Chain A
Amino acid sequence: MAVMGADVIKVEPPGGDVARTQPPFLGDDPHPEKSGLYLYLNTNKRSITLDIRQAAAPAVLRRLYESADVVIEDSPPGWLAAHDLGYEALERTNPRAVMVSVTPFGQYGPYRDYQATDLVALALGGLLYISGEPTREPLKLGGHPSEYFAGLSAFSGALIALYHRDGTGEGQHVDVAQVEGIASAQGYSSLGHGYIHEDRKRMNAFAPMYRAKDGFVGAMFRQDNWADFCEMMGRPDLTTDPRFADQISRRDHMDELNAIVAPWMAEQPKEDVYHAGQAKRMPMGYICDPADMLASAQYQAHGYFTTLDHPVAGPLQYPGMPMRWGEDAWDLRRAPLLGEHNQEVYGGLLGYTPAELVLLRNTRVI
C-alpha cells in the first residue's frame, strides 16, 4: 500500500516492532535497524513510537484514528478493545474508517485465542499435510508463507472495504485469519474430500525434479512437448517408444524414464535446459536461489531489485514490486528508523507543541 502511494504511518512500541529483533541481520549484528525482515517489509512508511500500555497513549492514537482511512492491526483479539482502541472506538471516532485485523485465527471462533506460528497455521489450514514425501512427515513450505498470505489478504480486504466506503461513506471491520488464508490456498484437500470423498495424500512435488550440472531443473511438459523434449536430449527414438507414449504410460514407466533423463540432465547447466525447453514452449523451471534471481536477465529487465541507501544498514538491494503499472515507475524508499517521524507526525499532523512532545517523551508515552 505504501509503495502504491498510501501514506502509511507505522506505530511501533518504543522498543520497536518485533520484526526488528528477527533475523537475518546485516553482518549478523542484531541491531534494530539492521534486520533484513524489517527493512524489506517497511519500505515507504513513516515510523512513530507509542506505548499503548501507558494511560495517556490511547487518546493519542485515537487522534490518529481521526484522519485515517484504514487502521491495520495485528494484536491478540480483544487487546485493542481493552484499551478503547478497537473497532468500536474507531467507528465512534471516524465512522468512515476501515479497520483490518490480522491474527492467526480471526476475531471469533473456538480457536480464537489459540497460539500459532507459521507452521501451526499451515497445519490447521491444510497445506502442511499435502506437502512433502508420502513416506515421511508432512513438510512445511519454506519461509513464512501464511504470514505473507495474511498480509496480502489484509491488503485486498482493505481495498474492498475502501471501495465500499468510497461509495457509501460506511466504514467497517475486516477480519483476516491466517489459517483461513492457508485454507483458501490449499486448493486440493477440501475439494478432494468434497467431490470424491477421499483425503488427498502427499504425493511428492508436482513437477519431477532432476539434478542438473549446477542445480535442479523442474521438467514439466505437456503431451505436445514430449517429442521436443526427446529431441533436446538427443533421443528422437524415444518419441515412438510405447513406454513413453503419453502422460499415463510415462507415469507407469517413471523409473525407466528417469534412468534415461537423469544422466542426461546431470550433464546440463540448469539454465540451458530451462531456456532451451521454454524456447520449445515447455513450461520448464529451475530452482533459483537469490543469487540466480539477482543475476536473472528477466528480473533485471523489470528492475525488480532496487538499491536503497539506509543511514544504518547502508546501500542494499531490495526486492521490489511484482508488477508494472502503466507508464508509472515505482518509487521505492527505505524503511524508517525507529520513531524517525515522531516530530513530523505528532508535531505536524497532530499539532502537539514542542513542550507537549517533551512531556510525552518524558512520560514514556512515545
Chain B
Amino acid sequence: MTRMALEGLRVLDVTHVWAGPMCTRMLGDMGADVIKVESARRMDTGRGEANPRGGPGTLYPDGIPGERPWNRAAHVNERNRSKRDICLDLTHPRGVEAFKRLVEHCDVVVESFRSGVMARFGLGYRDLVKVKPDIIMVSLSSQGSTGPEAAYGSFGATLEQTAGLASVTGYLGGDPTTSGTFFPDPVVAVLSVGTILAAIRQRQQTGRGTFVDMSQREATTSFIGETIMDYTMNRRAQGPIGNRDRVFAPQGVYRCTGDDMWIAISIRSDEEWASLARVMGEPALEHDPRFTDVVARRTHHDQADAIISHWTATRDAFTVMQELQAAGVPAGVAEQGSHLLADPHLNARGFWETVTHPEAGTAPFLSRPFQFSKTPGTTRRHAPLLGEHTEEVLRDVAGMTDAEIAELAALGVTENDPRAVATAPD
C-alpha cells in the first residue's frame, strides 16, 4: 500500500451538518486520522432526530428510518466517511477533560459551533493552548468569532443571501433568489482543507500553532469578487441575469424532449455561433445581421433563444450535447441525480465511490474535487456509527486505562444512545 498524502496528520473534528464534516471527510479520504466528536445528547444534527416523526428533512435508505435512524441518515453517512467517531458529553467536566487528553495527541481541532460555544465548554483556543501549545484550531462559524454579528446563526440558504450571492442569482427581470442547495457549505469545506494545511505548514516552519477564525459569510462573498469590484469601481449593483452571461451571447438553458430535460448552451465567439447554426441545419443564421457579432447577438438575445429552443424542443438532450460538442460548442445536459450517477465521464474518472454501511446498506457517494497522481484519495471506511470508536480512541489515542473508560461510561459521559438521554437545546 502506498503512503497516503496526509498520513500522520490527526484531526479532532467537532463539526456538524455539512461544511465542517465535508472538509474533515476529505482530509480523512487523503489519509488523515479524523476523530469526530459527538454525544448522545448533542449528535451531529445531520443524523436527524432520535425518534423521527416523519415528514421532510432527513433522508433514509428507501425512506425507512429503521431501528437506529441516526446511523441511517444519508447526509451524515455521506459527509463522515473515512472518520472514527466517539461520544463525549462536553457539558460534563469529565467529557471536557477527556477531550483535552485527546487534544494533546492531535494536530488540529476543527469546530463549527455557533461562535462562543467551545469557549463555554472550556474548550476555546486559549484553553487548548494550555494543553498543547502548538495546537491549530480552526473555527468555521457563520461570521467569525468577533464583530457585532459574531453570535448570529445561519443556514447555507441564508448565507447565500447575506453574502451577496443571491443578489446576482435569479431569473432575468425577476427577484433575487438562492440556489437549490446550501452552496456555501461545500465552498467552506473545500476552502478549509487548504486553510488547515496552510496552518500546518506554518507550524512546521515556525513551531507555532494558530487560531484560524473563518467567516462562512465572507468565504461566500469571495465568490462574487468581480460583482463587488463593479460596485466599488462604478457604483453599479449588478442584479440577476438568469442564465445569461455578461460577456457571451447567446447563453441559455433550453428544453429538450423527455421528462424535464434541458440543455445548457453557451456561445463564446462568432465561430461558435456559426457552428451552432450549422449543427441546427440553419447555416444562413451565421450571416443573419441579427447575429453576426456578440453585440448583435446580445441585442437579439430573445430571438436567438427562440430559434435555439425551437430546435432543441424536439431533440434528445444528450444527442444535442454530443452534436454541439463535436462541433466545438460548449453544451451540457442539466443532469438529474440518475444522470449524474450514470455519467460516463464521472464514472470513467472514478468519481463515485460505492460504500457499504452496516446499518444503511450500499450507496454511491461523491468523492473529491481533486485527483492525485501518486497518492490517490479514497473512502477509507464507511461513516462511523454514533460512538462506534469511543473505547478504541480513548484507549489508543488518549491513553486511558480500561478503568478510566469504564468510569466515563458509568457517568454517562460516553453514552451513545440518544434515546437514553434528554436532548439538549442548541
Contact = CB atoms under 8 A, between A and B. Distances in A.
A285 B158 contact: yes
A285 B7 CA distance: 40
Contacts of B336: 126, 129, 189, 193, 199-200
Contact of B255 (A34, A137, A195, A305): A137
A280 B252 CA distance: 42
Contacts of B191: 152, 155-156, 322
Contact of B325 (A115, A128, A175, A285): A115
Interface stretch (A59-67, A166-174, A256-264, A343-351): A166-174
User: What DSSP secondary structure best describes chain A's contact surface?
Assistant: mixed
Interface in B226-248: 226-234, 236-237, 240-243, 245-248
B372 A160 contact: yes
Contacts of A27: 233-234
B264 A325 contact: no
Contacts of B228: 40, 290, 293-294, 318-319
A206 B178 contact: yes
Nearest to A170: B374
Interface stretch (A7-15, A45-53, A106-114, A235-243): A106-114
Contacts of B234: 24, 26-28
* Interface magnitude class on chain B: 35 or more
Nearest to B225: A40
A213 interface: no
A39 B229 contact: yes
Nearest to A142: B168
A363 interface: no
Contacts of A287: 161-162, 166-167, 176
Contacts of A274: 162
A286 B222 CA distance: 18
B345 A207 contact: no
Interface stretch (B91-99, B116-124, B179-187): B179-187
B243 A117 contact: no
Contact of A289 (B159, B164, B338): B164
A48 to B, nearest CB: 23
A131 to B, nearest CB: 4
Contacts of B254: 137
Nearest to B79: A187
Given A129-B334, A161-B5, A24 B226 contact: yes
A177 B349 contact: yes
B155 A220 contact: yes
A288 B169 CA distance: 12
Interface in B183-222: 183, 185-187, 190-191, 193-195, 197-201, 204, 210-215, 217-219, 221-222
Given A132-B177, A294-B228, 14 more contacts: A36-B229, A37-B226, A105-B345, A106-B349, A109-B346, A126-B336, A129-B334, A173-B373, A175-B371, A186-B366, A206-B156, A207-B158, A216-B176, A281-B153
19 contacts: A37-B229, A39-B229, A40-B228, A106-B371, A110-B345, A114-B330, A117-B266, A123-B264, A149-B187, A150-B369, A153-B370, A161-B372, A172-B373, A173-B374, A176-B370, A184-B368, A191-B59, A196-B62, A290-B231
